[in-house]
A and B are shown apart, each in its own frame.
Chain A
Amino acid sequence: MVTITIDGIEYEAREGQTVLDVAKENNIPIPSLCHHEALKPWGACRMCVVELNGKIMASCTLPVAKDQNIKTKSELVKTVRKVVLNLLLARCPHSKTIQQLARLYGITKTTLKADEGRDNCILCNVCTRVCAQLGSSAIATVKRGSEKEIGTPFGEKPPDCIGCLSCARNCPTETIKFEETDAGRIIWNKSFEMAECSICKAKTVLTKEQVVFFAKKSGLPEEYFAKCDECARKETAETFAQLVINPGAHIMKAWGFTFGKLEAKAITASPVLPQKFERS
């Protein structure tokens, strides 16, 4: 544990935390755009800046240290955040997220030349990082300089995309477009069909590609993923009913515990997942 001071108040922090982590834990508002708690700190947008010993630092990449004295509301911090927002607003004048954030700092219009013809991407790389952590890396930053944007290899339909929509669902500016129906999805110009439930044949909420990919990643059988919730729940209910009515030795064995233990465990709601869940 280390003690740090934020805006004059002392907080306990754990080693390895960043200043932004501590601020979030204690409801101290620090705006952030390229930060996502599931991902490694990135430090690109500079929205989360704070002041430490007269210097400006990105709080999302700043590790806590003993006796740090952080300011989140100083004039210097406000000025730098305004500069950042002025630039972002020039890059994507129509992004609701950026407009809202800018308004909090009293900015309604950029003083620079607004880039009207562009989408709302702020190049925070949340999408590419989410996709990389999944293990797909289907999208990347393409082109250079002011032409930089997020795209697919050679601008084609991305071969490694599994249609999980995580890139789009986590984009802070809702730039990535997708279409969704019960039967399928389209994202990055690639069409996906939803996988069928192996029991009732209804469409599940995963694409066929997701089923194959998630099974491989987790080491679980594909049929775990290709099952609709309704059938999964029905099956579980039937298995439970069987257990209660007829706690047969073979089921007990499959579930890996004796009846006496089952009673105790089931009530404390922590039974053991069978290594192999057998379907009737």
Chain B
Amino acid sequence: MPITCLQCEDAACVKACQYNALTRNEKTGAIELNEKKCVKCSACLGACPFGNVLLENNSGRFVKCDLCLGEPMCAKFCPSKTLEYK
């Protein structure tokens, strides 16, 4: 099973960011990375104990799972329904 962001309650990535670029979306519960505020310092990538913040090689953008803003595509497309979102 792939493991993506756990949307930690006491999130390490949020503690590491000095630019307020990582905040929780109260509606979905997900921690979202605001690309416009991200200065690409790599602190969150280093901080996540689970390796769940990624640096996209081609674009140089930092990305993480945001639960697709409430409609996780991974769960939708999972053929065996191993992934479920409630």
**B10 adjacent to A166 (CB under 8 Å):** no
For the residues of B in contact with A, the DSSP-based class is loop
State whether A225 touches B46 (Cβ < 8 A). yes
| Alpha-carbon gap, A233 to B20, bound state (A) | 25
Smallest beta-carbon distance A265→chain B, Å: 10
Interface size of B as a range: 35 or more
A161 interfacial by beta-carbon distance below 8 Å: no
Q: For B55, what are the chain A residues with a Cβ–Cβ distance below 8 Å?
A: 205
A61 touches B (CB below 8 Å): no
Complex Cα gap A139–B36 (Å): 23
Q: Does A165 contact B (CB under 8 A)?
A: yes
Are B18 and A217 in contact, CB atoms less than 8 angstroms apart?
Answer: yes
Q: Is the CB of B69 closer than 8 A to any CB of chain A?
A: no
Do B40 and A267 touch (CB < 8 A)? no
Once the chains bind, are B41 and A236 in contact (CB under 8 Å)? no
Complex interface residues of chain A between 194 and 238 (CB less than 8 A to chain B): 204-206, 210-211, 214, 217-220, 224-233, 235-237
- The interface of chain A, by Cβ under 8 A from chain B, is 36-39, 130, 133-135, 164-166, 169-170, 204-206, 210-211, 214, 217-220, 224-233, 235-237, 240, 267-273, 275, 277
- Show 23 residue pairs from A and B whose CB-CB distance is below 8 angstroms, ordered by the A residue: A37-B37, A38-B21, A38-B39, A39-B19, A164-B43, A169-B40, A170-B40, A214-B16, A217-B16, A217-B43, A220-B16, A224-B12, A224-B46, A224-B48, A232-B48, A236-B49, A236-B50, A267-B86, A269-B72, A270-B29, A271-B6, A273-B12, A273-B49
